Amino acid sequence: MSEQTPNIAISVEGSIAILTFSRPEKRNAINDRTLAELDAFFSTPPAGVRVAVIHGAGGNFSAGLDLSEAVERDATAVFAHSRHWHGVMEKMQFGGLPIVSVMEGAVMGGGLEIAAATHVRVADPTVKFQLPEGKRGIFVGGGATARISRIIGPDRMTEMMLTGRIYGGEEGVRLGLAHYLVGEGEGLATAKTLATNIASNSSLINQMVIQSISRISDMGRSDGLHVESLTAAICQTGPDAREGLKAFLEKRKPNFS
């Protein structure tokens, strides 16, 4: 018996891993197997990979949770499923591997929750941002209240869930759901360029940017400033900092290990 085709196709181009949601017939809806494949990749990224790029096949990033698997769950199972999503999203956001997402077509529900766990988000004019759960009698469970509400504010998220409103690319950039708006079909090339740029950074700096900024924003002001100073002390006293400062003075690009 042949193995099942993965729901996420993975290729590696130098120091960049390209993850492609590959259920175009389902608009890349996220089922349990897709979530498990995300979990496996971000638990143990391939050696030498410094940045990941995530996009969807067939013109959609992801239309969200595969509801065909959700119908039969009782409250206990829904709770466990939601907590599993939270664990995978935490690995993505705080695992230390910078992630660039390419958003086109449907970026809805769980798809938007996945995108919100990435660090750099690129959208094209076909994008449709939506949290449709409220119109389906269900509530978000993949971390939207912790991430999307932080990006756009709890008031705006409330409005999105109550009305089922869809936002396009320009509105998404204005709200912070996307950082870049590019021409149709240009998202993946732009993401690869951004990923190459990010991969040239010190790995320690990438780790600290990912690990520290979001956590500091959860802290009180004095605690956050204390952690900022500790982070700066760690970063600015190591070999990467010496190389970066030396390269600046020598007017060349740094070569980080």
Do 35 and 149 belong together in one domain?
yes
Do 219 and 180 belong together in one domain?
no
96 contacts 118 by C-beta, under 8 angstroms? no
Residue 113 among the catalytic residues: yes
pLDDT at residue 29 greater than cutoff 90: yes
Alpha-carbon span 145 to 163, nearest angstrom: 16
Q: Which of 37, 69, 104, 113 is catalytic?
A: 113
Do 170 and 209 belong together in one domain?
no
Do 141 and 192 belong together in one domain?
yes
The average pLDDT across 41-46 equals 97
Do 167 and 97 belong together in one domain?
yes
Q: Which of 37, 69, 90, 133 is catalytic?
A: 133
**pLDDT tens-digit profile of 102-149?**
999 999 999 999 999 999 999 999 999 999 999 999 999 999 999 999
pLDDT at residue 2 greater than cutoff 60: no
**pLDDT tens-digit profile of 143-173?**
999 999 999 999 999 999 999 999 999 999 9
Q: Is residue 240 part of a domain?
A: yes
Q: Is residue 257 part of a domain?
A: no
Do 91 and 189 belong together in one domain?
yes
Identify the pLDDT of residue 1: 35
Residue range(s) defining the domain that contains residue 30:
8-199
The CA dihedral of 49, 189, 179, 24, to the nearest 10 degrees, is: -90
Q: Identify the domain boundary among 161, 184, 199.
A: 199
Do 186 and 231 belong together in one domain?
no
Do 94 and 137 belong together in one domain?
yes
Structure-model confidence comparison of residues 139 and 257, the more confident one:
139
Counted domains in the chain = 2
Identify the pLDDT of residue 241: 81
Alpha-carbon span 1 to 129, nearest angstrom: 39
> What CATH number should be reported for the domain holding residue 65?
3.90.226.10
Among the listed ranges 9-23, 68-82, 144-158, 183-197, which one has the minimum average pLDDT value? 68-82
Identify the pLDDT of residue 3: 63
Do 153 and 78 belong together in one domain?
yes
Q: Is residue 256 part of a domain?
A: no
